[in-house]
Amino acid sequence: MYKKIAILSGDGIGPEVMQHSLQILDAIAGKFNHRFEYLEASIGGAAYEYCGSHCPDETLNICEQSDAILFGSVGGPLDQQHLAKWKNCEVNSILKLRQHFNFNINMRPITIYPELIAYSPLKSAAISNGLDMIIFRELTGGIYFGAHELTTSNHQREARDVCTYNETQIQNIIHAAFKAARARKKQLCSVDKANVLATSRLWRELATEIAGDYPEVKLTHMLVDNCAMQMIINPRQFDVIVTENLFGDILSDLAAALPGSLGLIPSASLNHQGKGLYEPSGGSAPDIAGKGIANPSAQILSAAMMLRYSFDMHEEADLIEKAVRTTIEDGMVTADLAEDAGKAASTAEFVSAVKENVIARSEATWQSRKKLDCHGLHPRNDEHRKST
């Protein structure tokens, strides 16, 4: 299978983590007879340096030509945010991409590996067997996209931010969450603030209506403040969560801290047509850029999500995810998760270990299939393999 992937490395640790992570995609391509063409484009401060725009038209054109977008990170040092290169960098880059392609469905899987429970800020009793949940966040509506006004009235400063949602925006994200819940544990928690906000009352009303299309899924409603508390007290009660833009922004960042490092959390943003943007949840971390110590797990796992959701390459995605977990189980972790900094793996060493596990696992799977073929239990599909 041939796919074109827009590569937007961005700023800070983005370029180094991205380039290392592409080695994993190359290994997958070699093992499964795929061909990935990487179309590189500038974004964020890196783009501003050469053209005066955080998200130039050239970058949008490359993204439009691609089958999916693999995004790194954008932004600069906190003490330089007043400079034109960094001012509103994230808004002008990632939000512009979301608006341009109408990426309205954001998915952030939260996984706590049992081997890393000690690094979670939660008590081990609350996550004794690890954690596996996913948060669906609506991306194109709500208060972030309403009017924002800062005015003066009666000699006092006033501010106003408008939150608006329509039926279609809400229905799209809720259907996506129900489908995910149906494929998992068949439970969905819809989060709102229906006791106060009109937009939340519409949200809850539509969620309840749509639940009729998914009778096998148990729908529950929870107020956002209670959800934040429950996520700390008993996060394992959740499997799939769906919520609006602002609440999702806050809750998904809270949940991303539970595994102990943002370097472990990938994310995907999809539009109604299935085009996707995939990015790690952590920032550009300019303080460690160029030192070769950044955790590449989130970038690698974002690539796995791309294979799964944009290319329907489920076996390949599973292989990457298992390879990352095996690497961690073997005790190979970067500085953000190492008890002894002197024994921490570099970015390159971690990626190399993941790549070795990808190759080892894929070879083992292939040998297993050959044995099954010999016994007539697993018909080979060489014709399909050649055609892809």
**Nearest of 284, 288, 280, 279 to residue 264 by alpha carbon:** 280
Contact criterion met (CB below 8 Å) for 136 and 240:
yes
Asked if 193 is an active-site residue, the reply is: yes
Rounded Cα gap, residues 166 and 368, in angstroms: 51
Asked if 192 is an active-site residue, the reply is: no
Rounded Cα gap, residues 57 and 62, in angstroms: 9
Rounded Cα gap, residues 238 and 230, in angstroms: 9
With residues binned 3-state (H G I as helix, E B as strand, rest as coil), the percentages for the chain, rounded to 5, are: 50, 20, 30
Q: Tell me which of 26, 132, 239, 253 is the catalytic residue.
A: 253
- With vertex at residue 311, the alpha carbon angle to CA 70 and CA 368, rounded to the nearest 5 degrees, is 115
Rounded Cα gap, residues 5 and 28, in angstroms: 14
Rounded Cα gap, residues 80 and 84, in angstroms: 9
Angle, nearest 10°, between helix axes 167-183 and 198-210? 50
The number of residues making up the chain comes to 388
Asked if 253 is an active-site residue, the reply is: yes
Asked if 225 is an active-site residue, the reply is: yes
Which tokens sit at 94? 């990632």
Rounded Cα gap, residues 369 and 379, in angstroms: 9
Q: Tell me which of 193, 275, 278, 336 is the catalytic residue.
A: 193
Which residue carries 């806050």 as its tokens? 250
Q: Tell me which of 161, 213, 225, 330 is the catalytic residue.
A: 225
Asked if 278 is an active-site residue, the reply is: no
Q: Tell me which of 31, 144, 179, 239 is the catalytic residue.
A: 144
Q: Tell me which of 26, 132, 249, 318 is the catalytic residue.
A: 249
Where in the sequence numbering do the catalytic residues fall? 144, 193, 225, 249, 253
